């Protein structure tokens, strides 16, 4: 499942979770504005092994026709997916 935005941001103290971690999928804003490089997936090289999907700390890689794709609205450009891909299917490119 792709990340999604909740319909409503927390507005009162009681609505903000006690722990530092929100439940999975709890994204209240698009957060890609700080990214200066972005992962680009070479579909020809991608084997669909899903290692990048499993290791992406933000859960923004999703399954797509037996391969993977990145939701750029939420990717922060950390490059972990590139490092974990043993098929060299991901390159980090400068944000335009």
3 binds ligand SF4 (CB under 6 A): no
Cβ-based nearer residue to ligand SF4, 28 or 50? 50
- 3-state secondary structure labels for all residues of the chain: CCCCECCCCCCCHHHCCCCCCCCCCCECCCCHHHCCEEEEECCCCCCCCCHHHHHCCCCCEEEECCEEEECCCCCCCCCHHHHHCCCCCEEEEECC
In angstroms, give the least distance from the CB of 56 to ligand SF4. 3
Residues 17-56 that bind ligand SF4 (CB under 6 A): 39, 41, 46-52, 56
Residues that bind ligand SF4 (CB under 6 A): 39, 41, 46-52, 56, 58, 60-61, 68, 70, 75-81, 84-85, 87, 89-90
């Amino acid at each position: 499942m792709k990340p999604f935005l909740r319909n409503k941001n927390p507005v009162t103290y009681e609505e903000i979770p006690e722990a530092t971690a929100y439940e999975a999928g709890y994204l209240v804003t698009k957060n890609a504005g700080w990214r200066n490089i972005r992962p680009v997936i070479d579909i020809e090289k991608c084997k669909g092994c899903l290692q990048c999907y499993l290791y992406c700390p933000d859960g923004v890689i999703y399954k797509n026709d037996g391969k993977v794709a990145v939701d750029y609205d939420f990717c922060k450009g950390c490059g972990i997916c590139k490092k974990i891909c043993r098929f060299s299917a991901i390159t980090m490119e400068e944000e335009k």
